[in-house]
Amino acid sequence: MTPAAGTTMAQALNAALRDALDGDERVLVFGEDVGPLGGVFRVTDGLTAKFGEDRCFDTPLAESGIVGFAVGMAMGGFRPVVEMQFDAFAYPAFEQIASHVAKMRNRTRGRVELPIVIRIPYAGGIGGVEHHCDSSEGYYAHTPGLKVVTPATVADAYSLLREAIDDPDPVIFLEPKKLYWSKAQVALPARTEPFGRAAIRRPGADATVVAYGPAVPVALEAAEAAAEEGWDLEVLDLRTIVPFDDDTVVASVRRTGRCVVLSEAAGFGGVGAEIAARVQERCFHSLLAPVLRVTGFDIPYPPPMLEHHHLPSVDRILDALDRLQRDDEPDTRYLLAGGVA
């Protein structure tokens, strides 16, 4: 049932965990303060009370140990869902993730599955400091063997987390902290598109803005501001970084002829760079302007009073639109009718 005031993303995630625990006794939830406290962001609120300390429990403050324990539990037939309290807190566990979680299926020629979900609250916009606001998706997306998921809507938060828990392979589930309190009128349980399908959140004709996670609401706000200046932007929400939906991205960019990639993470060597490269490789003859990126700066995460300069903003997106050579005479020789080249 949907509360009259709407469901928050945190409540949707809580419902997904609750339903997964209720539906499969192999599902376990553990991490730092996820038990009686309900987690720093209350995503696990009430789960210990309902399912007991054997199904939802606290761990020591040792992230490498948490993930290593999850590997053993998964090999023993369980489906662990672990929480890293903040994004950069997961770095001590990265050796376990990169060397064992990601490689176990390949290492055992498919004989050993690791159905582990590693939930990571990530990205900025909450006035936090370094170690609390990193956008670490690039590390995981660059590690073969991991799926990397990041919802931007309340319905996706529920649906993608349920799919992650059901997945036979490890999933890095990145939760945008600043969207925990976003609300929507959603009837749960909800099922949206599966992994590997991007969503067009706003159709448009003049340029495609590719975004994911916390950048999606910013892209939509920029699209409304751009409309006042005569731009009709299409906003594309990737939903899953790995697997990547090339088909939807390519079809959109070939239709609009221009592309801006939006990401909170640092621009150098990041997911935004990979997206720009893939668009360039697949849409070159349909592009009317260079692919541009609007990202965080190539610096450690700044103090709270400065984060609004660091994070992609509506103004920075509008500045990028001005650089898309809209007033230049386009070369339309390779654009076919219907937008498919």
Catalytic residue (one of 131, 132, 285, 310): 132
pLDDT of residue 340: 43
Domain membership of residue 78 (yes or no) is yes
- Could you tell me if 223 and 269 lie in one domain? yes
pLDDT the model gives residue 334: 55
pLDDT at residue 341, as a whole number:
37
Extract the residue ranges of the chain whose pLDDT is less than 70.
Answer: 1-4, 326-341
The domain in which residue 319 lies consists of: 199-323
| Residue pLDDT, tens place only, 95-140 | 999 999 999 999 999 999 999 999 999 999 988 888 899 999 999 9
Same domain, yes or no, for 85 and 223? no
The answer on 263 and 150 residing in a single domain is no
If asked whether residues 211 and 299 sit together in one domain, one would say yes
Number of domains within the chain: 2
pLDDT at residue 4 in the model: 59
pLDDT score of 327 = 64
> Could you tell me the CATH number of the domain that includes residue 226?
3.40.50.920
Check if 131 is active-site.
no
27 and 146 co-located in one domain:
yes
Domain match, 13 and 83 both: yes
Asked if residues 236 and 249 have their Cβ atoms less than 8 Å apart, the reply is yes
Phi first, then psi: give them for residue 308, nearest 5 degrees. -65, -25
Q: Alpha-carbon distance 146 to 316, whole Å?
A: 32
What is the rounded CA–CA span in Å between residue 313 and residue 315? 5
- pTM across the whole model: 0.93
Given this model, what pLDDT does residue 326 score?
Answer: 67
pLDDT value of position 330:
57
* Position 79 in a domain: yes
Domain assignment present for residue 336? The answer is no
Kindly report, residue by residue over 25-51, the tens digit of the pLDDT: 999 999 999 999 999 999 999 999 999
User: Is 251 in a helix, a strand, or coil?
Assistant: helix
